[in-house]
Chains A and B, each alone.
Chain A
Amino acid sequence: MRERAVLDPSRLRMGPLREGAFRGRLHDARTAVSVGRLAGAALVVCFVTGLVSHYLQQPPGWAVNVLPSRPVWGYRLTQGLHVASGIAAIPLVLAKLWTVYPRLFAWPPLKSVTHALERLSIAVLVAVTLLQLATGLLNTVQWYPWPWNFRQTHWALAWVLVGALLLHIAVKAPVIAAHWGRRSAGTLRLPAADGPDRRAFLATVGAAVGAVTVTTAGQSFTPLKDLDVLAPRHPDHGPQHLPVNRTAAAAGITAGHLTGYRLTVRGPHPYDLTLPQLQALPRHSAVLPIACVEGWSKNAHWSGVRIRDLLDRAGAPHSATIRVVSLQKGGAYSVMEMGASYARDPLTLLALSLNGAPLDLDHGFPARIIAPNRPGVLQTKWVGMLEVIV
């Protein structure tokens, strides 16, 4: 008898596992649905804009020459939203997890194989969401204290996150439906007295989302730049009032490397240009944003030579993809490929000046690529060669 009592699993039901251990308010399904759908929406926006960024940077073969170069601010918007929705998701996810925390101690802990799998999927969802938000935020300050490759892991975990999220929505569909509105059946069964408190809680979560957004969004949404006190970038800080992702020093470029600079264009009719010859070609201007994958962006006035004029002179066909090679040594972005939709765009320039002055060395002096609707890492600096690949 005594032995049976020792093995009785209910004896393990102690601490937070006790019945009624959580007597606080707002840990109910209606609160979970109200906060959860906002958190879910933020994560979905983050996922979709992340996909856009991934495919603009690494297009599948069939898409290389047909990626849209319009709207010019397309990538600025999607990547700004990617980082802003990720930051907004931080208070939303924390509030959602606080609401459902007592369910971590549900009794019995495991009822069946299905129940075990469901709990495992929630553990995966929670862990991956926390890690994605935290490491994404650290990436924006270029801080990588982990032993894996950020970009590819962020990509893989994004799929795990969205998969676990869809699975969670499917499993919880009846609960979500029963608590979707104020007059839904499940909501009406909850204590009516909690209504005003719940709305105050949601307003509080909204205030937190507003606070983290207005203090960071100025790094990409310039009208808010005066409130940008917590973002890793500020639109006014950088050479020629434009931030820089990779400095000349970091890329191993010094003024000495650029003496005797020549631009080489390889194609059916190859040619070389010295800097004075390049500067003497017909100039075109464009207002285009630099939009970094880390979320900051800013518009600037660029002027230089159209890429399509340089390609026409080399006798390149209109459908040609080009390879752009930087003078920088090594680095993942020292060689960049550009599809025909960008190369033929009249706004795509080999820029020689920025905001009315020659490019700063950190902005790619003597010549850099600037193209509409493209990730900043593909706006190659210190361009030494254009190569037509048919």
Chain B
Amino acid sequence: MTGARILRWTVGAAGLAALGYGVSTLLTDPQVGDWHGVLRWLVLALLLHDGVLVPVTLLLGLAVGARWRARLRLPFLVAGSLTAVALPVLLRPGATANPSVLPLDYLRGWVLSLAVVGAVALLLPLCRRIPGLRFPGVRIPGGRRPGSGARGGRRTGRRRSGGTP
């Protein structure tokens, strides 16, 4: 066997060993409590992600079309990530008896962070208008293509549309 092949099998075997240790701990450690509950939540996580979150994302991308998809990807992904991280602090039910847990106005923080994302997304295409500013190899959505010679803020070429994003 070559070195790469040995490494590959070693990594795979280490993975199986860790997997086995984790599963056996889950099934046998009395401190875990209810592993049936864990299994139900694992299936639920998979269904919510694969059956709801991604299809909705793809359908949104399909609905806005190829041209807007490229422009909206940044604000959508950043705002979506901020929202995912903010959900627990926004939605935790019941007051905490500890004033140093959740001490901030999180609705304000969340709205403020999304406003910053929106402002950046609006300003980013204008960066292409700044003479001399280049992002080598990166296409800024909504901006002028490198070397296209057209005015900033407009796309000259049309990308193939249709299909899922």
Residues of A at under 8 Å CB distance from B?
21-25, 87, 90-91, 94-95, 97-98, 101, 104, 121, 123-124, 126-128, 130-131, 134, 137-138, 140-143, 146-149, 151-153, 155-171, 173, 195-197, 199-201, 203-205, 207-209, 211-212, 215-216, 228-234, 237-239, 243-247, 249-250
Contacts and interface: CB of A to CB of B under 8 A. Distances in A.
A157 B20 contact: no
Contact of B18 (A101, A166, A200, A249): A166
Contacts of B17: 163
29 contacts: A91-B81, A95-B77, A97-B54, A98-B54, A126-B50, A127-B45, A130-B46, A131-B41, A141-B89, A141-B101, A143-B93, A147-B37, A152-B33, A153-B26, A162-B18, A163-B14, A166-B18, A173-B4, A173-B11, A197-B70, A211-B78, A211-B113, A215-B82, A215-B109, A229-B110, A229-B112, A230-B82, A230-B109, A247-B97
Contacts of B34: 147-148
Contacts of A244: 98, 100
Given A24-B61, A170-B9, A208-B77, A127 B43 contact: yes
A-B CB proximity, top 5 nearest: A23-B163, A229-B109, A159-B22, A163-B19, A166-B15
B86 interface: yes
Contacts of B49: 97, 126, 130
Contacts of A207: 74, 77-78
B35 interface: yes
A24 B86 contact: no
B92 A143 contact: yes
Contact of B88 (A138, A170, A201, A208): A138
Contacts of A166: 11-12, 14-15, 18
Contacts of A23: 162-164
Given A24-B165, A168-B15, A229-B104, 12 more contacts: A24-B163, A95-B77, A151-B31, A153-B32, A156-B22, A156-B26, A156-B32, A200-B73, A200-B138, A207-B78, A232-B89, A237-B99
B16 A163 contact: yes
A166 B139 CA distance: 34
Contacts of B63: none
Contacts of A234: 103-104
Contacts of B19: 121, 124, 159-160, 163-164, 167
Of B21, B32, B113, most A-chain CB atoms within 10 Å: B32
Nearest to A203: B138
A155 to B, nearest CB: 7
A233 B101 contact: yes
Contact of A148 (B37, B50, B81, B138): B37
Interface in B23-75: 23, 25-26, 29, 31-35, 37-38, 41-43, 45-46, 49-50, 53-54, 57-58, 61, 70, 73-74
